Structure 1
Amino acid sequence: MESESYGIMLLPIILGVVEVLKNVGLPKRFCPLVAVAIGIILGGIYLGSGDIKQGVLKGIYMGLSSVGMYSGAKNVIGR
């Protein structure tokens, strides 16, 4: 249960870091790749539970989820 709550908390962190990098000059086309990379790193650190493969898979899931969260919010706001 603890790793699930970390995963939920890490999604907006990934989204925020990617948004900051985009404002600094990261091209928009690289944002999904950066989100997945950050997700893999954070997944390996916080969600691995001793198994690096599990952490990497959860990190990929988090990175892709944060990209989808951004896309969904963008579509709702209409930017």
Structure 2
Amino acid sequence: MFEIYDIAIIPLIAGLTQIFKRAGLPAQYSPFVAIFFGILIAFFYLDVTMKEAILVGVMLGLSASGFYSGTKNFVEMNGKKNGK
């Protein structure tokens, strides 16, 4: 099952999604790409059943989407405070 050190998958998914966005993917589709990568990675990387892979993959993808948007919002807020 999912171990605590597997949490490193989340930034990996966020990075893969960012690559697709830089390649021209519209931003509104990025959560779907993150969920797709989450399910794909969970299915092949984790030793779980198909149902568990889908559930864990969706969790990873949604976490990666939140990780990216939270980091982006934090950077933007700090840039405004510093007069940039």
TM-score (ref. length: structure 1):
0.87
- Identify the residue that residue 51 of structure 1 maps to in structure 2: 49
Aligned partner of residue 25 in structure 1, secondary structure: coil
Q: Return structure 1 stretches of 4+ with deviation > 3 angstroms.
A: none
- Identify the residue that residue 67 of structure 1 maps to in structure 2: 65
Point out the structure with the larger helix share: 1
CA distance in 1, matches of 2:50, 2:8: 20
Residues 1:19 and 2:22 aligned together: no
Give the residue type in structure 2 aligned to 1:43.
Answer: A
CA deviation string 1:20-79 (max 9, x = no partner): 1101101101000000011011011112x2411111100000000000001110110017
- Residues 40 and 59 in structure 1, CA contact (< 8 A), matched pair in contact too: yes
Structure 1 unmatched runs, 5+? none
- Count of residues in correspondence between the two structures: 76
Structure 2 unmatched runs, 5+? 78-84
Percent identity, aligned pairs only, is 37
